[in-house]
């Protein structure tokens, strides 16, 4: 394969002498290169928004958002997927991260797995990927065999397919309905795509998952009203969010949370005086959108 043709594999003229620089100069060079990432992501906002709309439609209709990748790209996809259930209270089956080599590859490099196209197909089949799903391949090169095969299989069964890549005119871009191409240039260290390319992928994944969750009604104003209070910090966060929305004190918020079970139901009850059954019915009628439920209730 001709790696030299890939932008992410070319030498960066700004860092030819990085091995002769002081520590401060090294981190300054890295910081300057990192500053190129956000504008590169900005150039792809239209494509990111289109993929978000597809993901919202999929999840709203019983489908899934599935990330797939190898190495750093796969780890970032798994990370983003795994953080959504506690943050937004979404069913972990609705947003899934798949990495070549499975869970052991999250911690250790496994030789050859990124080149195994057959396994990419097998992993999609094992997940039961279907037309209701959105599958997003992630790879800096845009050519990883495992990921490309997974994308092509997903498309063959009717799934909507996106990608996040850091090179132009790649096979993954061609295989995607929703290609996201973020061109942030050569890396500080040649080929170390865990750096700028990885940062770009993380930024895009943050946008995809967060915007999708907002569109699904898991955010009120800019508050995470579907946070899962599964530990002390998240329980405290839930109480704080409820105080912020309703203006009650922490003790009242805690009591309402215990009585109604969720931040949304507790907030609705506190703001309207409705009982628990009314709160649940209103939220269900609004598709889980707290603001919409309040507006509908007040118009009655």
Per-residue pLDDT of 226-266, as tens digits, reads 988 888 998 999 999 999 999 999 999 999 999 999 999 99
Per-position pLDDT tens, the chain of length 300: 667 789 898 999 999 999 999 999 999 999 999 999 999 999 999 999 999 999 999 999 999 999 999 999 999 999 999 999 999 999 999 999 999 999 999 999 888 999 999 999 999 999 999 999 999 999 999 999 999 999 999 999 999 999 999 999 999 999 999 999 999 999 999 989 999 999 999 999 999 999 999 999 999 999 999 988 888 998 999 999 999 999 999 999 999 999 999 999 999 999 999 998 999 999 999 999 999 999 999 887
Please indicate, yes or no, whether residues 48 and 188 belong to a single structural domain of this protein.
Answer: yes
> How many Å apart are CA 287 and CA 300, to the nearest integer?
17
> Is 82 inside any structural domain?
yes
> Is 141 inside any structural domain?
yes
Please indicate, yes or no, whether residues 240 and 203 belong to a single structural domain of this protein.
Answer: no
> Is 223 inside any structural domain?
no
Question: Domain span at residue 256?
Answer: 232-299
Our count of domains for the chain comes to: 2
Of 162, 187, 215, which one is at a domain's C-terminal end?
Answer: 215
Among 33, 47, 114, 187, the one annotated catalytic: 114
Q: Is 25 a catalytic residue?
A: no
Q: Is 258 a catalytic residue?
A: no
Please indicate, yes or no, whether residues 189 and 236 belong to a single structural domain of this protein.
Answer: no
Please indicate, yes or no, whether residues 32 and 152 belong to a single structural domain of this protein.
Answer: yes
Of 215, 250, 271, which one is at a domain's C-terminal end?
Answer: 215
Please indicate, yes or no, whether residues 269 and 177 belong to a single structural domain of this protein.
Answer: no
pTM, whole model, 2 decimals?
0.93
| Contact status, residue 114 vs residue 244, Cβ threshold 8 Å | no
> Is 227 inside any structural domain?
no
Alpha helices (H) along 95-195: 117-127, 145-156, 171-175
Q: What is the pLDDT of residues 62-89, one digit of tens each?
A: 999 999 999 999 999 999 999 999 999 9
Among 9, 33, 47, 83, the one annotated catalytic: 83
> Is 224 inside any structural domain?
no
User: Helix crossing, 263-272 with 250-260: angle to 10°?
Assistant: 110
Please indicate, yes or no, whether residues 92 and 136 belong to a single structural domain of this protein.
Answer: yes
């Amino acid at each position: 394969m001709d790696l030299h043709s890939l932008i992410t594999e070319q030498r960066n003229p700004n860092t030819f002498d990085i091995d002769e620089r002081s520590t401060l100069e090294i981190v300054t060079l890295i910081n300057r290169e990192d500053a190129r990432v956000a504008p590169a992501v900005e150039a792809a906002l239209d494509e990111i928004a289109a993929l978000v709309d597809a993901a919202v439609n999929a999840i709203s209709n019983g489908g899934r958002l599935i990330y797939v990748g190898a190495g750093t790209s796969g780890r970032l996809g798994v990370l983003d997927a795994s953080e959504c259930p506690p943050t937004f209270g979404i069913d972990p089956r609705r947003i899934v991260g798949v990495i070549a080599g499975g869970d052991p590859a999250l911690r250790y490099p496994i030789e050859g797995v990124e080149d195994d196209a057959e396994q990419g197909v097998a992993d999609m089949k094992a997940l039961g990927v279907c037309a209701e799903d959105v599958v997003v391949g992630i790879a800096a090169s845009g050519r990883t065999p495992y990921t490309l095969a997974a994308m092509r299989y997903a498309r063959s069964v009717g799934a909507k397919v996106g990608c996040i890549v850091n090179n132009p005119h790649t096979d993954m871009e061609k295989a995607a309905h929703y290609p996201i191409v973020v061109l942030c240039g050569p890396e500080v260290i040649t080929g170390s795509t865990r750096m700028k390319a990885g940062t770009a992928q993380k930024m895009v994944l943050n946008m995809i998952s967060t915007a999708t969750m907002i569109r699904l009604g898991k955010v009120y104003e800019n508050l995470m009203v579907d946070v899962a209070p599964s530990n002390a910090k998240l329980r405290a966060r839930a109480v704080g969010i409820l105080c912020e929305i309703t203006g009650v004190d922490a003790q009242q918020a805690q009591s309402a949370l215990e009585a109604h079970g969720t931040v949304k139901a507790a907030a609705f009850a506190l703001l309207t005086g409705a009982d628990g059954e009314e709160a649940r019915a209103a939220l269900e009628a609004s598709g889980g959108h707290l603001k919409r439920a309040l507006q509908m209730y007040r118009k009655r």
